[in-house]
Amino acid sequence: MNSNECDNRRIWFLLVVAGLGGLLYGVDFGVIAAAEPYMKALGVYSDAQISHVVGAVLLGGLLSSVTSGWLCDFFGRKRMIVASSAMFLVAIPIVCLSLDTFPVLFAGRVLQGMSAGYMAVVMPMYLTETLPADIRGRGTGVFQFCLGLGLVVAATAGCLVATWYGAADNKSLDTAGMSAAWSANFWWTMVPVAVLFLGSLRLPESPVWLSRKTGDASDSSASDTSSPVSFSDNIGESLFQRRYVIPFLLAVLVLTFNKTTGMSSFTSYLVTILHSAGFEGIFANWGQLAVKLTNMLVTIAAAALVDKKGRTWLLKVGTGGMTVGLAAIGSVFLAIERFGVEANNFTGLLTMFAFFFMQVFYALGPGLCVWLVLSELMPLRIRANGMAIALFMNQLVAWGLASWFRPWVAAWGWSSMFFFFAVNGVLYFITVLFIPETKGKTLAELERLFDKCSY
């Protein structure tokens, strides 16, 4: 086998494992949307407690972001991918077997979130450091596509569970059936994550991490061996130095707005939202599946465009369209909550179509580009810690929103929530105007761009 064939096989293997990592992340956040209505129907917990169980995954991501940068630098990218998938395999049995015990259930969901939090940091970083520059965007696209696939698979499983056991609003469904439906939405997730765990054991370590660990003075990533960058005098540089402040702040803002525009909340509560908009029974589950399938399909198109049209073009188009969709959803709920319009299948359809519109533009821009821009904006000297801090802010905001989502809606209604998301969409669009284009640039070229402070 010649070297080109070996390289191609290596790249394909990396992409497959990256895809499974994205699948873990998508399943991690998507599985609760179909399970949460059963928890509400059981009547065991208050709205605040249910919100805390939903938000526990985001709290886990928040906790993992505190240590992810240090752990990725100390143990290496590969070991952290292995550890992340192993944590998920431990978390799911805890979640499934502790529905009636709030502290244990909460702890299991936190552990589940920590696995996703570590994966969110290490996998984009790993891809950035191991893939050639000309396919780096598509490589991250695979991660994002499979994240969307994870959401779709979780939604499909939710439809099957609702068909088998009955929807959560089915009056004939007893307590035992609701509990079984809850756990069924989680047990199946162990299968793809077990495959990821086994596959990650065979991953090569990031050459960039190896070169830094051994004290090599060049960036020896697979994509940039011809363009060395000296790190010998800069290993201990602070991310708060002037040339790092702007890319760091941009990365923090992008990740923060990616959450304050509400995507994590939609992922976790979409079945409930569609119920509130007028859909009944299993129709809300099928609506959730359709919206998440749209996300996955548009991600394919976005992955084909990202290395041609560029990151910032997709982000501008995506944030603009997403904001319009959020305002449209808020308007439907405003008509229901303030102007006496009856919530029925028609208002449910209007809401679902608005979600389609919003999801198309999210997947086209922020959904695909956020992780790619994050990893490319951060120079190697600050990448691990910078990404970890940015993700910390991302998860802090997401946890706050998810944990108080139901109490907010109970107090002020769905429309106030969606108009809040739309305002943040406007701020997101403004932030994108300041992001430099990184399309096609090697890691070495990005380093020199930051060194020149050419913003």
Query: What string of DSSP letters covers 380-422?
Result: GGGHHHHHHHHHHHHHHHHHHHHHTHHHHHHHH-HHHHHHHHH
Per-residue pLDDT band for 231 (boundaries 50, 70, 90) equals very low
Contact indicator for 373, 233 with CB cutoff of 8 Å = no
Q: How many residues are given for the chain?
A: 455
Distance CA 86, CA 268 (A): 23
pLDDT at 254: 87
Q: For the domain bounded by 7-452, which CATH number is listed?
A: 1.20.1250.20
What percent of the chain has a predicted confidence (pLDDT) above 70? Answer: 84
Please check the confidence at residue 296 and state whether its pLDDT lies above 70: yes
The pLDDT value recorded for residue 176 is 87
What Rg do the C-alpha atoms of the chain give, in angstroms? 22
Q: How do residues 197-227 score in pLDDT, each as one tens digit? A: 998 898 888 888 888 777 654 444 444 433 3
Does 433 have pLDDT greater than 70? yes
- Model confidence at 248, in pLDDT bands (50, 70, 90)? confident
Tell me the pLDDT tens digit for each residue of 341-400: 999 999 999 999 999 999 999 988 888 787 777 767 776 666 667 776 777 777 788 788
Instruction: Report the pLDDT value the prediction gives residue 384, as an integer from 0 to 100.
Output: 66
* pLDDT for residue 228 is more than 60: no
Cβ proximity of 247 and 373 under 8 Å: no
CB distance 315 to 365 below 8 Å:
yes
Candidate from 94-98, 126-130, 141-145, 153-157 with smallest mean pLDDT:
141-145
- Per-residue model confidence (pLDDT) at position 455: 43
The half-sphere exposure of 91 on its side-chain side, counting CA atoms within 13 A, is: 25
Angle between helices 175-187 and 136-165 in degrees, nearest 10: 160
Q: Is the pLDDT of residue 108 over 90?
A: yes
Quickly state the pLDDT bin for 236 (edges 50, 70, 90): very low
In DSSP notation, 129-152 reads HHS-GGGHHHHHHHHHHHHHHHHH
Residue 359 CA to residue 148 CA, distance in Å, equals 11
Q: Sign of the C-alpha dihedral, residues 419, 422, 427, 428?
A: positive
How far apart CA 80 and CA 21 sit, in angstroms, is 12
Token pair, residue 167, equals 């929807």
| Residue 235's pLDDT band (cuts 50, 70, 90) | very low
Tokens at 74, concatenated? 């100390």
Return the pLDDT at 242.
65
Give dist(CA 291, CA 367) in Å, integer. 14
Q: Which stretch of 67-81, 136-150, 439-453 has the lowest confidence by average pLDDT?
A: 439-453
Alpha-carbon span 100 to 435, nearest angstrom: 47
Residue ranges of E strands in 117-265: none
Mean pLDDT of all residues in 264-272:
81
Separation CA 122–CA 424 (nearest Å): 27
Q: How many CB atoms lie within 10 A of CB 261?
A: 26
Residue bearing tokens 């405003």: 334
The reported pTM is 0.69
Task: Give the tens place of pLDDT for each residue, 29-53.
Answer: 788 888 888 888 888 888 888 888 9
- Integer Cα distance of 335 and 347 in angstroms: 9
The DSSP code for 433 is T
**For residues 66-70, average pLDDT:** 80
Question: What is the structure's pLDDT at 221?
Answer: 40
Percentage with pLDDT > 90 across the chain? 27
Phi/psi class of residue 280: alpha, beta or left (left: φ > 0; alpha: ψ in -120 to 50)? beta
pLDDT at 419: 97
Distance from C-alpha of 168 to C-alpha of 39, rounded to nearest angstrom: 9
pLDDT of 453 above 60: no
Please report the pLDDT score of residue 421 as a whole number. 96
